[in-house]
Chains A and B, each alone.
Chain A
Amino acid sequence: MKQLLYRARLIALLWLIIVIGVILAALRQGPAFDTSLMALLPTTEQRPEISQAVEKLSADFSGQVLLVVAADDRDIARQAVAVAAQRLAALSDIARVDWQLNDTTIMSNELYPFRFNVLSNTVRNRLLAGQGQQQYQSALQQLFSPLSGRALDPIRDPFGLYHDLQMTRQSALQITLEQGLFRLTGADTPAYLIRLSLNYDPFSLPIQQRVLGVVDPLEQELNLQGAQLYRSGLVWHAAAGAQQAKNEISTIGLGSLVGIVLLILLVFKRVNVLAAVLLPILIGCLMAGAVTLLTFGRIHLITLAFGAGLVGVSVDYALHFICERQTTAADRVVKKLFAGLFLGLASSVIAYAALALAPFPGLRQMAVFSVTGLIAAWLTVLLWLPLMNRKASYKALPAAVLLNRWRMRYPRLESQPLLLACIVIVGLISVVIISQGEPQDDIRLLQTSSSELLNEDRRVQQLLGNSSSAAFILVTGQSIETVLQREERLLPQLDEMVESSQLQGYQALSQMLPSLQRQSENSDLVRALYREYLPRVATILHFSEEQRQSANEALKQQLNQQLTPADWQGLGTSEGWRQLLISDTPGEAASVIRLKGLSSDLKSQLNELVNSEPGIYWVDRVASISDLLSDYRQQIIQWLLLAYGLVVLLLAIRYRYDLWRIILPPLLASLLTFAALILNDGGYNLFNLIALMLVLGIGLDMGIFLYEAADNNHTWLAVSLSAITSLLAFGLLTFSKTPVLYHFGIIVLPGLCLVWLIAPLMRKLQPEIEE
């Protein structure tokens, strides 16, 4: 006996060491919260090059923090930029801060040697159309124009090819250098750009705190000086999300915990019972959080919320133990309960683990969280509770007696035909309403960021003339050359869309870096131009024989000087454009074409357009995620129906005709809740359906327990407590500002309430006759 106790203590100690070890490991890594919905969703594309492009674009995007400093007065704005740069210098160990450029200028002559191979579109089209005459005229015009520009080099470039190229080069962003500062040309008042490139994960809480700790006071300081600060970047959304998570954990999480504590104290009137109930929950949650953090690197807010459901389930283990403890000695409780508890754990673990089978990273995280939490809570109950309060004894609980008395006075469905009719009618009406419900799969409904933050972000992106990163054209090929050639075949169609004002503009790699094929076409065109028109230019400009020769010499020397992708990437002019090249690996080269001013009409046109050429894809993240949500919604409906089907089959074996007593409460509650939701919100989404699965699971549990121990006061108490703790854990999510959590809560809260209210209606008249 003593030896047994010794062994039990040893195992309990071992468990304690494991718990402490895992939690310390997680703490060392540091907590990180994820709120991005994208993180929950699987990669949408089967094509690896598409997911690679999406990943690269989001990686480029995720570390970028853009600040715009603006004021009505130019001096104030410039001063504010200097102040901002000074304050932001404090972040130099975690981010690169770009706010000025002194050495280089926007008008470098890097491309001059390539002027015969890289032509502006206008010039190329002109020459293609055989209108060399126009180019000649244009060169003459430059000679007489007050705006002729720097590049007037009548001997080495008598047709002004370089001037035309320079004047038509668009910059990647709408910025210009104004005495070293990046001024936004798209803004009405003086506005300047400051760019931070974070070297660390923007989801890391310490990084967020550092950045906010500098930028928030900076904004106040600048406001006092009469300047404004606008922000854009993932880090702001991540920080706001983390803040919201923190708030909700501390309000909703604390709320449910306080509720559970009060409930247990009220029912058991003993502090040591409270400890016995709370300890497994605490250990379960800590272990679940720690293991998830260690496995995935960060915890998603939604995982935490879903995990809150653990509280309700792990309370069950403790309650069973405590109820059993009333009549049994501490060391025998475990033996007696082991089989039941183990089956309970096994079925829950299998159910949650099944979530991991779905190709849904979010569900996998929830599965890991739930399974770890359940096992940890279960182990805590089995290993620690028997060692606590070894001498305590319990007596019948007044709450159980009270609850049971109330239940007995509850009407029975079988003896109330009118009630039965009512229920059937209400159920049927619900079915009709549900059949009218429209699914809502638009991911934007689930946006977690506040509208102010989104608007501010949008405004900065607009000022910069940034194109969408959520929808783009992906061009792939065997080599960069193939990719560029494919782009060049596609661009005329995009130009048409710009021409007809459907599209505001686009950015493509081949605009800056023509394919080598195109470059040699260009040089042929230029050669022809020189052959035909150089004599005329020479006459009009009074070239000497020597000058004529040097003009030809310059052409000869540089006619074959092609701009290779490697050369181009080394030039300053490729700044801001290099990101368009997703991969230059031979065999899997790829580039993206970014588009400005997309409408849904245009999207379908673009979708058709890309089908005309192999290797080109239209990628619309928002649409494909919405499609994905719709896919999963349909799958979940099938799962739900399948689950009901299996449960009916399984339970029918044991309960035969009494099956309806167990199925009806969760079924009816689900129908009513779902119908009410559709009446209220006009539609439903994936997350409502996942919540319905929870209602089914918890509801069935209640039904089974009640049926199995129909006459036991304490079973009804345990069921009620379990329902209320689940309500407190899940149902409070209804008050969450995070849309996904709200969609869970809005189903679970009324759903479980209804199950609890409906279940007693199902009791048998003479439960003792049960076989």
Chain B
Amino acid sequence: MIRGWLLSAFMVFSTVAWSADYKLLESLTTAPETLHGQFTQVKFVQALDARFESSGRFDYQRDRSIRWHTLKPIDNLLTLTPRSISNQQGDTVLSRLDSQDNPVVAVFSDIFFGVMTAQWQTLADYFEMDVQGSKQHWTVTLSPIDQNVAQVVARVELSGDELLRKVLLFEATGDQTTIMFLDPQP
């Protein structure tokens, strides 16, 4: 569940970090107040040996909310706030989860907001970071150090130029998700 969220978070910084040290990453990145754009997502589900493609729009307001609006092939809106995750299909609210009562939700919410607002210190709670490449083309690899996260995520690869462009998420189950960001704007 962490996937897309991590990514969109990484687009927050336009300057690329060159060190695995999150403190250096911190010094190089700032999160804009708002950001929006489009995405495409391809999910490979191993159990079915099949690919599922989707696309839509995203936007966020720092420290307040993140909206992930899938438009194709289904219309679905996911909204995250620091306290909750809600899932809406058209006018129907499919679910609304409270991160205070549920530790699983809390971990995801925590990571997600950490990423979105470039709180590398928070991310360092859960991942080890490895940064490679040049300013024009860089890759950050996140390997979970937290057992709870490791149960879900095997590895995350983020890459981009001055903005985050691509996220590769390898799940523990063998599933893979690729997300591409198009035309992000503050």
Contacts and interface: CB of A to CB of B under 8 A. Distances in A.
Query: Do the two chains bind?
Result: yes
A176 B147 CA distance: 12
Contact of B78 (A105, A145, A152, A153): A145
B95 A167 contact: yes
A107 B104 contact: yes
Count class of interface residues, chain A: 35 or more
Nearest to B94: A138
Nearest to B108: A147
B30 interface: no
A153 B101 contact: no
Contacts of B52: 143-144
A74 B48 contact: no
Contacts of B106: 176, 185
Given A152-B45, A167-B105, A171-B103, A147 B4 contact: yes
A391 interface: no
A177 B145 CA distance: 13
B157 interface: no
B29 to A, nearest CB: 19
B102 A154 contact: no
B107 interface: yes
A547 B47 CA distance: 9
B134 interface: no
Contact of A177 (B98, B103, B172): B103
A169 B104 CA distance: 9
Contacts of A505: 101
Contacts of B43: 143-144, 148
B74 A169 contact: no
Nearest to A172: B101
Contacts of B139: none
Interface string B87-113: 101001011011111111111100000
Contacts of B94: 134, 137-138, 141
A178 interface: yes
A149 interface: yes
Contact of A171 (B4, B50, B76, B102): B102
Nearest to A177: B148
Contacts of A465: 100-101
A146 B179 CA distance: 9
A1 to B, nearest CB: 87
Contacts of B50: 541-542
B149 to A, nearest CB: 10
Contact of B76 (A145, A154, A186): A145
Interface string B159-180: 0000000000001110101010
Contact of B2 (A141, A147, A169): A147
B2 to A, nearest CB: 7
Interface in A682-699: none
B47 A153 contact: yes
B74 A141 contact: yes
Nearest to A149: B1
Contacts of A542: 48, 50
Contacts of A147: 1-5, 68, 78, 85, 108
Interface residues of B, number: 52
Contacts of B38: none
A307 B147 CA distance: 60
Given A107-B151, A137-B89, A155 B48 contact: yes
Contact of A150 (B73, B103, B152): B152
A185 B70 contact: no
Nearest to B175: A152
B3 to A, nearest CB: 5
B146 interface: yes
A543 interface: yes
B4 A150 contact: no
A138 B100 contact: no
B14 interface: no
Contacts of B95: 122, 138, 164, 167-168
B41 interface: yes
A302 to B, nearest CB: 41
Interface in A159-196: 164, 166-171, 174-179, 185-186
Tell me which of B70, B78, B103, B125 has the highest count of chain A C-beta atoms within 10 A of its own C-beta.
B103
A379 interface: no
A145 B69 CA distance: 9
B87 A185 contact: no
B151 A179 contact: no
A140 interface: yes
B54 interface: yes
Contacts of A167: 95, 97, 102, 104-105
Contacts of B104: 106-107, 166-167, 169
B74 to A, nearest CB: 6
Interface in B35-63: 41, 43, 45, 47-48, 50, 52, 54
Contact of B45 (A154, A164, A171, A175): A154
Contact of B148 (A74, A106, A146): A106
A176 B74 contact: no
Nearest to A169: B102
Nearest to A108: B151
Contacts of B173: 150, 152-153
Contacts of B68: 145-147
Contacts of A153: 47, 173
Nearest to A126: B94
Nearest to B112: A147
B76 A141 contact: yes
Contacts of B108: 147
Interface string A480-520: 00000000000000000000000001000000000000000
User: Chain A CB within 10 Å — which of B52, B70, B92 has the most?
Assistant: B52
Contacts of B76: 141, 144-145
A148 B101 CA distance: 19
A149 B45 CA distance: 12
Contact of B146 (A144, A178, A547): A178
Contact of A179 (B7, B48, B145, B177): B145
Contacts of A137: 74, 89, 94
B15 to A, nearest CB: 24
Contacts of A543: 48
Contacts of A144: 41, 43, 52, 54, 70, 73-74, 76
A17 B9 CA distance: 82
Given A146-B78, A149-B1, A152-B45, A174 B101 contact: yes
10 nearest A-B residue pairs (beta carbon)? A146-B4, A147-B1, A176-B103, A170-B101, A144-B54, A150-B152, A149-B1, A106-B103, A141-B76, A138-B94
17 contacts: A105-B147, A134-B89, A137-B74, A137-B94, A138-B87, A144-B52, A144-B74, A145-B68, A146-B1, A146-B41, A146-B179, A148-B43, A153-B47, A154-B48, A167-B97, A167-B102, A541-B50
Given A144-B52, A145-B70, A547-B48, 10 more contacts: A105-B151, A134-B92, A143-B52, A167-B97, A176-B106, A177-B148, A178-B125, A179-B125, A179-B145, A542-B48
Interface of A: 74, 105-107, 122, 134, 137-138, 140-141, 143-150, 152-155, 164, 166-171, 174-179, 185-186, 465, 505, 541-543, 547
